[in-house]
Chains A and B, each alone.
Chain A
């Protein structure tokens, strides 16, 4: 019911956040975003309180919007790869 629908919501948000984070052209922003998203979801894995959950979901939604905007900006001003980055696969 309520629990399972929110679980689905959480999972969907999590996937979208990771997918979007992967598109950061900057190596450091990309790795940070991925790491931070994973750690934040892991940290709050056992939150049950619906109010707290709703708050966290809203925060995640805001973050998703920020990441989407910042990825677009990043793509406008792309720069060289850093020395530790692997070569992009599909180029």
Chain B
């Protein structure tokens, strides 16, 4: 018992946690972010220091030079307000904006009139969830979503709950996919909206969107999907999928940051209550001047994504396999989180048992990686997505997300794999847990004393 206590203390000091190891997220998120600053310090690179590799394509992507090239004229000469109807400056901006709208629509098989420009997927998600629920609130009071949605979806739902709506947060199976039967049973006569993300940002699983769309259509309720991580990476057609609302982000598809789009179906018509009041731009759904250069960039990124989808997907798959094979063949006890088949290959979430994710991230300072979504990376708590798929607390603590994209090279993948293998081995050698496992102790049988 004594030695186990010691181990517990060691483990705690390793994690930087001195109290109970099973704190949950709301209680400790503030203190966790304070601790975080002590663990991984931010600092600027020195002038002649080498830059880390970028392996975090789910957080954001670099802009494609072709996108920047189409945007620049609108940052330089064509600065007219696209809503100005009385002069050439306005007309040329409007034409560019409408061309971009068509490019976005073409990528998802929609009509340009169904595309609303927004500031990004967070705004699109807020608009869809709050907008639909509030518009139909007289008759319908229920919204369904999943436990592994992006924070902006979950928080929008929380707001709805405080307004008197009921929200069901569907659990997911251990592979990260929702149970269609369970969804079917959860739907009530007063359900107005179902919101399920297409590709998860942390574990890369691809939900059965087509089947969900079919269920929603047959029950006559609206279906929203957050496709920020899916657009341009896998083929998506809103008619095939029977999606009514779809959120799109610019900076996840090699476009500019600060712009996104929302697809809002016209037939059957989806009504939403706008969040912003003002000049009534974007058919009154999203007041505010459309930022022409950003919209043009989003359009260009969508068109490129359409042209390059097959090429990029093939390459990303090859690189992802290469990374996983290399790591898994050299290091034992590595678990890949999420369904092995139903996934986008460019998002790889691996758990390295007996290694602290944060320590590994620190050790891999030459590679820009993350343990999960950027929005929650300030917190030391294990990701709620990993907890939702039923990952053990310890495995959830030891996960790292590798993001591969259009500009990733073989050298980068090899370097990352090599460093990763080396550091996992080093950290395991230091870990008392690993030592115990090597001695044949079943960690699950140990009753940790809390103190």
Q: Which residues of A contact B (CB under 8 A)?
A: 24, 27-29, 31-33, 36, 39, 66-67, 69-70, 73-74, 79-85
Answer whether A80 and B69 are a contact pair too, CB < 8 Å, given A28-B407, A28-B409.
Answer: no
The reply to whether A83 and B409 contact each other, CB–CB distance below 8 Å, is no
Interface SS of chain A: helix, strand, loop or mixed?
helix
Answer whether A80 and B407 are a contact pair too, CB < 8 Å, given A28-B62, A67-B65.
Answer: no
Q: 25 A-B pairs, CB-CB below 8 angstroms?
A: A24-B65, A27-B409, A28-B54, A28-B408, A29-B407, A31-B407, A31-B409, A32-B406, A33-B65, A66-B65, A67-B65, A69-B69, A70-B69, A73-B65, A80-B49, A80-B50, A81-B50, A82-B50, A82-B51, A83-B53, A83-B366, A83-B415, A84-B411, A84-B415, A85-B50
The 0/1 profile, CB within 8 Å of A marked 1, for residues 388-424 of chain B is 0000000000000000001111011001000000000
The reply to whether B48 and A80 contact each other, CB–CB distance below 8 Å, is yes
Closest approach, in angstroms, between the C-beta of A5 and any C-beta of chain B? 28
Partner of A83, one of B50, B311, B408: B50
Report chain A residues within 8 Å CB of B68.
70, 73
Partner of B407, one of A32, A79, A83, A84: A32
The 0/1 profile, CB within 8 Å of A marked 1, for residues 36-74 of chain B is 000000000101111111100000001001101100000
Other contacts beyond A70-B68, A85-B50: 9, CB < 8 A: A27-B409, A28-B54, A28-B62, A28-B409, A70-B69, A79-B51, A80-B50, A83-B366, A83-B415
- Going nearest first, the 7 A-B pairs with the smallest beta carbon separation are A70-B65, A28-B407, A82-B51, A84-B411, A83-B50, A80-B51, A66-B69
Kindly state the separation between the CA atoms of A66 and B73 in the bound complex, as whole angstroms.
13
The reply to whether B65 and A83 contact each other, CB–CB distance below 8 Å, is no
Kindly state the separation between the CA atoms of A81 and B47 in the bound complex, as whole angstroms.
10
Kindly state the separation between the CA atoms of A29 and B412 in the bound complex, as whole angstroms.
13
The reply to whether A29 and B65 contact each other, CB–CB distance below 8 Å, is yes
Q: Which residue of A lies closest to B50 (CB)?
A: A83
Report chain A residues within 8 Å CB of B406.
32
Identify which of residues 1-56 in chain B touch chain A, using a CB-to-CB cut-off of 8 Å.
Answer: 45, 47-54
Kindly state the separation between the CA atoms of A69 and B69 in the bound complex, as whole angstroms.
8
Kindly state the separation between the CA atoms of A55 and B65 in the bound complex, as whole angstroms.
22
Kindly state the separation between the CA atoms of A24 and B68 in the bound complex, as whole angstroms.
14
